Amino acid sequence: MDYSSKFRCFDPSNTNNTISTSKTHFSSYSTNSIVRSPRASSSMDHQPIDYKPKISNGDAGYFLEDVPHFTDYIPDIPTYSNPLQDNPAYSVVKQYFVNTDDTVAQKIVVHKNSPRGRHFRRAGPRQRVYFESDEVHACIVTCGGLCPGLNTVIREIVCGLYHMYGVNKVLGIEGGYRGFYARNTVTLTPKVVNDIHKRGGTILGTSRGGHDTSKIVDSIQDRGINQVYIIGGDGTQKGASVIYEEIKRRGLKVAVAGVPKTIDNDIPVIDKSFGFDTAVEEAQRAINAAHVEAESVENGIGIVKLMGRYSGFIAMYATLASRDVDCCLIPESPFYLEGPGGLYEFIERRLKESGHMVIVVAEGAGQELLAESMRSMDQQDASGNKLLQDVGHWISQKIREHFTRGKKMAITLKYIDPTYMIRAIPSNASDNVYCTLLAHSAVHGAMAGYTGFTVGPVNGRHAYIPFNCVIETQNKVVITDRMWARLLSSTNQPSFSCAKDVQEDKREEVPSTALLDGQNGSSQGEKDGISVRSPDP
């Protein structure tokens, strides 16, 4: 990219303008990062991960959980000026380059004298990069289930590399992880991906499983790939972390960047996963249809099953957004059918009061009630997820049986399952913008020499997060939290929890004025609604 020097836009606040090597760039950070033993087996399932976090401590209880960098294992690696400093599109931006000391706090609500807690490295472009534009050979792979926004992320990685950094060698790996060694690749250019954001699914195809670390890294090495962008959920990010470990063991200059994807919004640390806004918006169509069907007949019941294997965020937010839902059932909040305060009693009361009722149930809800009949209880899919029984069909049948038994009340029940309609649609405007920021954050990080990281907004600011932080736990709805209380108030449904259960849950939580380390604000409900994003990268 040969632009006039008049467009240079150095960050005057950055004191590292004259850095020539990465040693000085990282001299202030801990070097105890990530020493793992070489591995003989090629199966991800059997690989031990002895992760040692890269920690830098500061005053007032501050600590930075940093991400790996090439300089951790490749000595005397050269750096280059960032091509963005000569790009006329960015000439008007003041302080475009992120200061090397910028970090993002995970816990935003603190007491006056409480520790500042865990921070992550802020995402964004750096003045020095570790790749020359013509040496970059990048690849992109999508794994796991479909999610709105996958094509947008692919598009913006390709266009970001091309337009911001002058990279013109980008491969798409077809068919998920096994595509590295068993499928063809496709050349990706801005022209090829120009309008893919208007389509659902992924143009690269996807699959579950198929992870063979040795074969994948062999393929990366044989093809001369030096930047790997991996888009997928927690299982996919686990695979990405193992790939990074093998690349590091071999001493390769290959950046591994993850973009977390889950329609269920169950990725921890980050404010929200892409595709979630679209899923909640599309779920409104199904809920509205169920409401129309239910109110059009006497004693009509509409049941809508939404995605949410272990986390009920889609069901909760779709219920709050709809205002037409009378009962929301999620995995985090156990419920029971028979007896006082049970679901049957609530349905009878609501039908007598309103003449109709709408129930939203997340796919992972009520699984303990199906336990006796679950033959697939110990079975897993190719990604390692437990196979669940269809709670929607089951609860529909149980409700029919209850009201048929003894001819208590004649009901008309309609069951709607929009699962694949929701996840197969293109992303909405909000998610399109969000996907762009995620893609650009990943590109900036890889070009700056960071590796073994995933990207996402933390309290509205995009950050680079070590893989281990997003694969250790799952983000879940906290039923002793204000957001769940808002839902109970909106639907007027019982909590289905006895006082003893609530007190036990509260004892496991911190006081409402503080957040737990490792959990984001949106899951704790200290923010009103979903976290507000800032166009940070």
Report, as residue numbers or ranges, the catalytic residues.
264
Q: Where are the extended beta strands (E) located within 332-484?
A: 356-362, 412-416, 453-458, 461-466
Query: Is 31 one of the annotated binding-site residues?
Result: no
Query: Is 160 one of the annotated binding-site residues?
Result: no
Tokens 């166009």: give the residue: 535
Query: Is 262 one of the annotated binding-site residues?
Result: yes
Query: Is 236 one of the annotated binding-site residues?
Result: yes
Q: Write the DSSP symbol of residue 63.
A: E
DSSP string, 150-181: HHHHHHHHHHHHHHHH----EEEETTSTTHHH
Query: Within 13 Å and on the Cβ side, how many CA atoms surround 76?
Result: 0
Tokens 């509409």: give the residue: 302
- For the CA atoms of 43, 46, 48, 49, the dihedral, rounded to the nearest 10 degrees, stands at 50
Query: Is 363 one of the annotated binding-site residues?
Result: yes
Q: What distances in angstroms separate CA 365 from CA 67, 309, 369, 443, one per listed residue?
A: 36, 8, 9, 38
Query: Is 309 one of the annotated binding-site residues?
Result: yes
Query: Is 235 one of the annotated binding-site residues?
Result: yes
Query: Is 145 one of the annotated binding-site residues?
Result: yes
Query: Is 366 one of the annotated binding-site residues?
Result: no
Query: Is 208 one of the annotated binding-site residues?
Result: yes
Query: Is 196 one of the annotated binding-site residues?
Result: no
Q: Can you tell me the distance from the alpha carbon of 379 to that of 372, in angstroms, rounded to the nearest whole number? A: 15
Query: Is 39 one of the annotated binding-site residues?
Result: no
Query: Is 374 one of the annotated binding-site residues?
Result: no
- Token pair, residue 245, equals 């470990």
User: How many other C-beta atoms can be found within 10 angstroms of the C-beta atom of residue 502?
Assistant: 13
Query: Is 307 one of the annotated binding-site residues?
Result: yes
Query: Is 421 one of the annotated binding-site residues?
Result: yes
Q: Which residues contact 481 (CB under 8 A, 6 or more apart)?
A: 509, 512, 524, 525
Looking at the chain, how many residues does it have? 537
Q: Which residues contact 500 (CB under 8 A, 6 or more apart)?
A: none
Query: Is 308 one of the annotated binding-site residues?
Result: yes
CA angle 173, 179, 182 (to 5 degrees): 140
Query: Is 176 one of the annotated binding-site residues?
Result: no
Q: Can you tell me the distance from the alpha carbon of 306 to that of 294, in angstroms, rounded to the nearest whole number? A: 18
Query: Is 264 one of the annotated binding-site residues?
Result: yes
Q: Can you tell me the distance from the alpha carbon of 416 to that of 199, in angstroms, rounded to the nearest whole number? A: 24
Residue ranges at the known binding site: 145, 208-209, 233-236, 262-264, 307-309, 363, 420-423
Known binding-site residues for substrate equal 262-264, 307-309, 363, 420-423
**Binding-site sequence positions for ATP:** 145, 208-209, 233-236
List binding-site positions for Mg(2+): 234
